[in-house]
Structure 1
Amino acid sequence: MSTCRRTFFLDKLESSKNHFERALDCKHTEFDDLYPYMIEHPQFFWYKRYVAWSELLTIVKLCEEMDIPWSERFTERQAEYVNSRVMSSKVLDCWYETNDTREHVG
Structure 2
Amino acid sequence: MGKEIPTDFFVTKLNEAKIHFERALDCKHTEFDDLYPYMIEHPQFFWYKRYVAWSELLTVVKLCKELEIDWQGQFTEQQVDYVNKRVMSSKVLDYWFETNDSKEHVG
Which TM-score band applies after superposition, normalised by the shorter structure?
Answer: over 0.9
Tell me the SS of whatever aligns to 1:56: helix
Residues 61-104 of structure 1: per-residue CA shift (max 9 Å, x gap): 00000000101110000000000000000000000125965621
- Aligned equivalent of 2:31: 30
Give the drift of 1:16.
0.2
TM (norm. structure 1) is 0.92
Question: What's the secondary structure of 1:82's corresponding residue?
Answer: helix
Residue in 2 that maps onto 1:78: 79
Distance 1:70 1:99, change over 3 A: closer
Q: How does 1:1-106 map to 2 (within 5 A)?
A: 5-97=6-98, 103-106=104-107
Q: Distance in 2 between matches of 1:78 and 1:105?
A: 15
**How many residue pairs get matched?**
104
* Identical-pair percentage: 74
C-alpha displacement of 1:52: 0.1
Structure 1 residues not aligned, in runs of 5+:
none
Alpha-carbon spacing, 1:59–1:99, altered in 2? closer, same or farther (3 Å):
closer
